[in-house]
Amino acid sequence: MRVIDRIVGSRLDPEIAHRLHHLDHRHAVDILAIDSADMARRRLRATTRGGEEIAIALPREETLFDGAVLILDADRAVVVRVGAERWLRLAPRDKIAALELGYHAGNLHWRVRFDGDDLLVALEGPPEDYLARLGDLVSGGRVTHGLDARNEAA
Amino acid sequence: MLKTAMTLTPSPARASAARIGIGGPVGSGKTALIERLIPVLAGRGVDLAIVTNDLVTKEDAERLRRSGLIDPARVSAVEAGACPHTVIREDPTLNIAAGDALEAAFPGLDLLIFESGGDNLASTFSLDLVDWWIFVIDVAGGDDIPRKRGPGVLRCDLLVVNKTDLAPHVGIDLPAMLSEATAVRGGKAMIATNARSGDGIDAVADAICRAVLFAP
Ligand SMILES: Nc1nc2c(ncn2[C@@H]2O[C@H](COP(=O)(O)OP(=O)(O)OP(=O)(O)O)[C@@H](O)[C@H]2O)c(=O)[nH]1
Ligand SMILES: [Mg+2]
């Protein structure tokens, strides 16, 4: 198993992009898809789309990112692609519901973003687990919900 | 250096030691698990050090230092204050610093183990602090623990259900508790242990070596 202990660079770096472009013509660019929840790990094992199992062991000051180039050999490359992060969209019916929702989200240490009148919660598990925590806010219809997929890098 | 990692890594590794977390409710057996893991991991050639977290004392660090299982200088203590989860999740600076100090003192370290202070079922580790983490619950805590779907139980990389020896004494149907735990975790890894007798400890060591030290 190949152990990756450094990131070669970004696929957006002009010189790297140039080399990737040539390798891509030869179908020699392999993708390592990583779940957004796993991106902060310095060490993990993962399998590329091409089926190669690799081990990542980065120094603590480095982290993975979308487009990180892990291998750039003369005959092949491996590039990280972040899995789309899933967000639970929560829409409070009124100000009172919004206050209550905000209280719960903070109390539960959820990772959130704001989008207009809605609260987006980053999902690290099934949405039901999150909805259950909101109890009658959700079951009573004072907060409605839906799923959002968006790329971390976007 | 870990033997397997050496044979797998052609160039000298630039990466620092792997860091894992062990969390779980008060008294579930986190320190007992570490006491059992030390000789097993040492026997596999893993060079390790430990950071313990206690509320306001250094009780667990002192216990490990006195245990005779490990060089006392390889055990470091962080006092967590009132909120044990804060120092492993929101602001792990103290723990990161303790880990860095151990790595500087012991070059060639393969593994750093962070024991969290006993907390509730909601405690989780920041991936800035650790690469992979275990959550330890115990049979005597009740077979309804998995059903309570605490974030610690759901999100950990490995769930350890300890004190299996106590099941008959506390009226717990162990197989039912284990299958429920597997179900709430969507099939993610779980190991039942008895830190008294050592049952299941080898399997925990296997999981650690596989996940972060890249043993086959
Ligand atoms: N019967 C039995 N007792 C155990 C087992 N594992 C731990 N214990 C006992 O449970 C008690 C608590 O164990 P610890 O290892 O101190 O638990 P801990 O999770 O480190 O506790 P805190 O750090 O205080 O949260 C001790 O008296 C242990 O001897 C086990 O598998 N079976
Ligand atoms: Mg302890």
Residue A22 lies in a domain: yes
Least confident of A57-71, B19-33, B61-75, B81-95: B81-95
Residues A113 and A134 in one domain: yes
Residue A16 lies in a domain: yes
B36 lines ligand 1 (CB under 6 A): no
CATH number of the domain to which B171 belongs: 3.40.50.300
Distances (CA, A) of A97 to A88, A102, A146: 16, 9, 17
The angle at the Cα of A115, spanning A114 to A120, to the nearest 5 degrees, equals: 60
Contact between A129 and B149 using a beta-carbon 8 Å cutoff: yes
Residue B41 lies in a domain: yes
Residues A78 and A92 in one domain: no
A133 and B CB contact within 8 Å: no
**Mean pLDDT of the region A63-68:** 94
**Mean pLDDT of the region A67-87:** 92
The structural domain count of chain B equals 1
SS3 A69: strand
Residues A53 and A115 in one domain: no
Residue B185 lies in a domain: yes
SS3 B28: coil
Contact between B15 and A124 using a beta-carbon 8 Å cutoff: no
Nearest residue (by CA) to ligand 1, atom 12, is B27
C-alpha closest to that of A152 among A111, A117, A118: A111
The structural domain count of chain A equals 2
Domain closes at, from A27, A48, A82: A82
Domain closes at, from A33, A62, A82: A82
pLDDT given for residue A149 in this prediction: 62
pLDDT given for residue A154 in this prediction: 32
Using left for φ > 0, alpha for ψ between -120 and 50, and beta otherwise, residue B108 falls in left
Q: From the list A5, A55, A125, which residue is nearest B155 (CB)?
A: A125
Residues A63 and A98 in one domain: no
Is the pTM for the entire model greater than 0.80?
A: yes
Residue B12 lies in a domain: no
A132 and B CB contact within 8 Å: yes
More confident residue, B200 or B90: B200
Residue B1 lies in a domain: no
Residue B13 lies in a domain: no
Residues A70 and A93 in one domain: no
Dist CA B24 CA B120 (whole Å): 7
Q: From the list A3, A6, A129, which residue is nearest B214 (CB)?
A: A3
Q: With a cut of 50, say whether residue A152 has pLDDT above it.
A: no
CATH number of the domain to which A101 belongs: 3.30.70.790
Residues A19 and A56 in one domain: yes
Say which amino acid occupies A44.
L
Residues A57 and A118 in one domain: no
Question: How many residue pairs from chains A and B have C-beta atoms closer than 8 A?
Answer: 59
Residues A7 and A68 in one domain: yes
Residue A154 lies in a domain: no
DSSP character at residue A94: S
Residues of A in contact with B9 (CB under 8 A): 3, 5
Q: Which residues span the domain enclosing A93? A: 87-148
Least confident of A87-96, A122-131, B7-16, B121-130: B7-16
Model pLDDT for residues B49-84, shown as the tens digit of each residue: 999 998 777 889 999 999 999 999 999 999 877 778
Contact between A3 and B128 using a beta-carbon 8 Å cutoff: no
C-alpha closest to that of A3 among A89, A83, A78: A78
Residue A94 lies in a domain: yes
Interaxial angle between packed helices B30-43 and B59-66, expressed in degrees from 0 to 180 and rounded to the nearest 10: 40
C-alpha closest to that of B13 among B4, B22, B24: B4
B61 lines ligand 1 (CB under 6 A): no
A46 and B CB contact within 8 Å: no
Index of the ligand 1 atom closest to the CA of residue B32: 15
Dist CA B37 CA B165 (whole Å): 18
Q: With a cut of 60, say whether residue B186 has pLDDT above it.
A: yes
pLDDT band at A150 (very low <50, low <70, confident <90, very high): low
Backbone angles phi, psi at A44, to 5 degrees: -165, 160
Query: Which parts of B46-200 fold into alpha helices (H)?
Result: 59-66, 93-105, 151-155, 174-184
Residue B11 lies in a domain: no
H or E segment at B33? helix B30-43
Each residue of B177-209: b (16+ CB within 10 Å) or e?
bbebbeebbeeebbbbbbbeeebbbeebbebbb
H or E segment at B212? helix B201-212
Residue B2 lies in a domain: no
B199 lines ligand 1 (CB under 6 A): no
Model pLDDT for residues A30-52, shown as the tens digit of each residue: 999 998 889 999 999 999 999 99
Q: Which residues span the domain enclosing B81? A: 18-212
Q: Which residue has the tokens 């990131």?
A: A7
Residues A6 and A76 in one domain: yes
Dist CA B77 CA B105 (whole Å): 15
Residues in chain A: 154
pLDDT given for residue B84 in this prediction: 81
Average pLDDT, chain A: 90
B163 lines ligand 1 (CB under 6 A): yes
Domain closes at, from A27, A52, A82: A82
pLDDT band at B147 (very low <50, low <70, confident <90, very high): confident
Residues A73 and A55 in one domain: yes
Q: How many Å from the N-terminal Cα to the C-terminal Cα in chain A? A: 32
Residues A19 and A76 in one domain: yes
- Prediction ipTM score: 0.81
CATH number of the domain to which A72 belongs: 2.60.260.20
Residue B202 lies in a domain: yes
Q: With a cut of 90, say whether residue B142 has pLDDT above it.
A: no
Residues A9 and A74 in one domain: yes
Percentages helix, strand, coil for chain A, rounded to the nearest 5? Answer: 25, 35, 40
